[in-house]
Amino acid sequence: MSKEKEIIQGVSIQIAFGETGTKFSHQEEFPLSATCICGGEGRMAFVVYERAGINKVSYICDLHKNEPGNMWVHDAVAVAVYLCKNCLKPIAICNQG
Protein backbone atom coordinates (compact mmCIF):
# COMPACT_ATOMS: atom_id res chain seq x y z
CA MET A 1 0.00 0.00 0.00
CA SER A 2 1.34 3.44 -0.89
CA LYS A 3 2.06 6.07 1.73
CA GLU A 4 -0.74 8.26 0.29
CA LYS A 5 -3.34 5.50 0.69
CA GLU A 6 -2.22 4.81 4.25
CA ILE A 7 -2.57 8.47 5.08
CA ILE A 8 -5.98 8.81 3.40
CA GLN A 9 -7.35 5.80 5.30
CA GLY A 10 -5.97 7.02 8.58
CA VAL A 11 -7.01 10.65 8.55
CA SER A 12 -9.75 11.96 10.73
CA ILE A 13 -10.90 15.09 8.95
CA GLN A 14 -14.42 16.28 9.61
CA ILE A 15 -16.41 18.91 7.72
CA ALA A 16 -18.90 21.39 9.11
CA PHE A 17 -21.04 23.26 6.61
CA GLY A 18 -21.67 26.98 6.69
CA GLU A 19 -22.02 28.98 9.86
CA THR A 20 -22.19 25.87 12.03
CA GLY A 21 -18.44 25.60 11.40
CA THR A 22 -17.51 28.63 13.50
CA LYS A 23 -17.24 26.57 16.70
CA PHE A 24 -15.08 23.81 15.19
CA SER A 25 -11.92 25.72 15.87
CA HIS A 26 -8.98 24.60 17.98
CA GLN A 27 -8.74 28.12 19.38
CA GLU A 28 -11.26 31.00 19.42
CA GLU A 29 -14.37 30.54 17.25
CA PHE A 30 -13.91 31.38 13.60
CA PRO A 31 -15.51 34.65 12.45
CA LEU A 32 -18.64 34.51 10.28
CA SER A 33 -16.88 36.46 7.53
CA ALA A 34 -13.37 37.32 6.38
CA THR A 35 -11.93 40.06 4.19
CA CYS A 36 -10.70 39.09 0.73
CA ILE A 37 -7.51 40.49 -0.83
CA CYS A 38 -9.82 42.43 -3.22
CA GLY A 39 -11.44 44.11 -0.22
CA GLY A 40 -14.69 42.19 -0.57
CA GLU A 41 -16.43 40.20 2.12
CA GLY A 42 -15.89 36.46 2.24
CA ARG A 43 -18.83 34.46 3.55
CA MET A 44 -18.33 31.23 5.50
CA ALA A 45 -18.55 28.17 3.25
CA PHE A 46 -17.27 25.34 5.47
CA VAL A 47 -14.71 24.33 8.09
CA VAL A 48 -12.52 21.25 7.93
CA TYR A 49 -11.01 20.13 11.20
CA GLU A 50 -9.01 17.20 12.50
CA ARG A 51 -10.04 14.98 15.37
CA ALA A 52 -8.50 11.90 16.88
CA GLY A 53 -10.20 8.78 15.52
CA ILE A 54 -10.59 5.20 16.67
CA ASN A 55 -8.12 3.75 14.16
CA LYS A 56 -4.62 4.82 13.21
CA VAL A 57 -4.72 8.52 12.56
CA SER A 58 -2.44 10.69 10.46
CA TYR A 59 -2.51 14.42 10.90
CA ILE A 60 -1.71 17.16 8.43
CA CYS A 61 1.14 18.14 10.74
CA ASP A 62 2.77 14.78 9.90
CA LEU A 63 3.01 15.58 6.18
CA HIS A 64 6.04 17.88 6.44
CA LYS A 65 8.70 18.80 8.95
CA ASN A 66 8.42 22.09 10.78
CA GLU A 67 11.88 23.61 10.73
CA PRO A 68 13.51 26.98 10.10
CA GLY A 69 12.82 28.04 6.51
CA ASN A 70 10.16 25.34 6.10
CA MET A 71 7.38 26.30 8.48
CA TRP A 72 4.55 23.84 8.96
CA VAL A 73 1.84 23.26 11.53
CA HIS A 74 2.81 21.30 14.65
CA ASP A 75 -0.61 20.05 15.80
CA ALA A 76 -4.10 19.14 14.58
CA VAL A 77 -5.56 21.91 12.38
CA ALA A 78 -8.90 23.49 11.70
CA VAL A 79 -9.36 25.52 8.50
CA ALA A 80 -12.30 27.83 7.82
CA VAL A 81 -12.95 28.53 4.14
CA TYR A 82 -14.81 31.62 2.97
CA LEU A 83 -15.81 32.65 -0.56
CA CYS A 84 -15.65 36.31 -1.57
CA LYS A 85 -18.91 38.00 -2.61
CA ASN A 86 -17.06 40.15 -5.18
CA CYS A 87 -14.65 37.76 -6.88
CA LEU A 88 -15.47 34.31 -5.42
CA LYS A 89 -11.86 33.71 -4.43
CA PRO A 90 -11.46 31.45 -1.41
CA ILE A 91 -10.12 32.87 1.84
CA ALA A 92 -8.83 30.46 4.46
CA ILE A 93 -8.18 30.95 8.16
CA CYS A 94 -6.22 28.16 9.81
CA ASN A 95 -5.48 27.43 13.44
CA GLN A 96 -4.09 24.48 15.36
CA GLY A 97 -4.54 22.80 18.69
Judged by CB under 5 A, the stretch of 16-24, 50-58, 68-76, 81-89 that binds Zn ion is 81-89
Nearest to 44 by CA among 57, 35, 34: 34
The least distance separating Zn ion from the CB of residue 44, rounded to whole angstroms, comes to: 15
| CB-nearer residue toward Zn ion: 13 or 84 | 84
With CA atoms as reference, report the closest residue to 30 among 15, 41, 46: 46
Pick one of 62, 87, 90, 92: the residue that binds Zn ion (CB under 5 A). Answer: 87
| Strands 33-35 and 77-84, sheet pairing | unpaired
92 near Zn ion, judged by CB under 5 A: no
Interior angle at CA 67, CA 9 and CA 74, nearest 5 = 45
For 92, residues 6+ apart whose C-beta sits below 8 A from its C-beta are 79, 80, 81, 82
Piece of the chain touching Zn ion by CB under 5 A; list 7-15, 30-38, 49-57, 62-70: 30-38
Shortest distance, position 20 Cβ to Zn ion, whole Å: 23
Return the residues of window 41-70 that contact Zn ion according to CB under 5 A.
Answer: none
Would you tell me which residues interact with Zn ion (CB under 5 A)?
36, 38, 40, 84, 86-87, 89
